[in-house]
Homo-oligomer: A and B are copies of this chain.
Amino acid sequence: MAITIIARHMDPQTILQALGQIAPQLDVRIWPDDGDTDEISYALCWKPPQGIFQQYANLKAIGSLGAGIDFLLKDPQLPAHLPVTRIVSQQLAQSMFDYVASCALNYCRQFDLYRKLQQDNLWRPLPPLLCSEVTIGIMGLGELGRFVASKLLQLGFKVVGWSRSSKDISGVECYAADAQLSPFLAKTQMLFCLLPLTDATEGILNRELFIQLPQGAYVVNVARGEHLIEQDLLWALKSGHLRGATLDVFRQEPLPDEHPFWQCDQITITPHCASATYPQAAAPQIVENYLRLCQNQPLLYQVNLKNGY
């Protein structure tokens, strides 16, 4: 039995090294040079080519190397009988929180506006804004969303949340399902999208949603590029209804050179780095799941393929 790493747009060496450090006896290979594919029982993936799993006759499980698994669901030949796992780690959540908190404080302390004033040598103190006066809305209250919401609360922000099914998070006013989306949006001065990508959430960040946010709201997408209707965001920014946006994910990654987002001064772009998988954090749960696989035990962090998360 062996593990293969099928990774594109991600360096497989760092995961290989982290696995080697804690479990040197494991047979870990890197696709496409992974030898006799019949020996592979666990395929760790990041954006693998479609149909690739057909090559592995004795595969017992598929693992995403990130928190999301949407790239696996897109593969019509994904073997439906195999368990699919993902990475769940405190470090992934901490990394996401640091990114989100940076955006939230930047907005609250108005660094984005001061940066614009600086371009014109303008000294203009704006009315001070305290965290306790800013309401942040989190869409998606899974592992990451819940963690981020609770930590933002500790920073002093007011936090509201929205998710498909109703959730209970201490101190966070939670809204659920389509019916409660409007009241959630009406309260949200800064919207963070941490939703899983499903048929129901694709394109949810659209014109109709933006106009329900208060004037001057800020939008941050750290989930998936497909959540956003790109033209609708440009319209909402240009019209002045939204003050700005920070985007970490895009429909096409890397974001194409000619894309209008690059030179829109109301948009801050980061290259899908909000919540990076730290190999040292991922390796132990990969090893644990591999051992469970060998012993036919239930796996950790298994994904419900019907829900898509």
Which residues of A pack against B, CB within 8 Å?
Answer: 91, 94-95, 98-99, 101-102, 105-106, 108-109, 111, 114-115, 117-118, 121, 123-126, 128, 130-131, 154-156, 253-255, 257, 259, 262-263, 268-273, 276, 278
Contact = CB atoms under 8 A, between A and B. Distances in A.
Given A94-B131, A102-B102, A114-B271, 12 more contacts: A94-B130, A95-B130, A98-B109, A98-B130, A98-B131, A98-B156, A101-B101, A101-B155, A102-B111, A111-B268, A118-B268, A123-B271
Nearest to A101: B105
A124 B272 CA distance: 10
Contacts of A259: 121
B95 A271 contact: no
19 contacts: A94-B131, A98-B109, A98-B130, A98-B156, A101-B105, A101-B155, A102-B105, A102-B106, A102-B108, A106-B111, A109-B270, A114-B269, A117-B271, A121-B262, A123-B255, A124-B271, A125-B276, A128-B278, A154-B154
Contact of A123 (B106, B115, B254): B254
Nearest to A106: B102
B268 A114 contact: yes
B95 A128 contact: yes
Counting every copy of the chain, the complex holds 2
Given A98-B131, A99-B109, A114 B270 contact: yes
A109 B102 contact: yes
Nearest to A264: B118
Interface centre among A114, A117, A118, A253 (most CB of B within 10 A): A118
B101 A156 contact: no
A260 to B, nearest CB: 11
Contacts of A257: 121
A233 to B, nearest CB: 16
A162 to B, nearest CB: 24
Contacts of A118: 262, 268-269
Contacts of A102: 102, 105-106, 108-109, 111
A95 B254 CA distance: 37
A82 to B, nearest CB: 30
A102 B114 CA distance: 13
Contact of A271 (B91, B125, B155, B254): B125
A154 B259 CA distance: 39
A130 B91 CA distance: 9
A263 B121 contact: yes
A155 B91 CA distance: 13
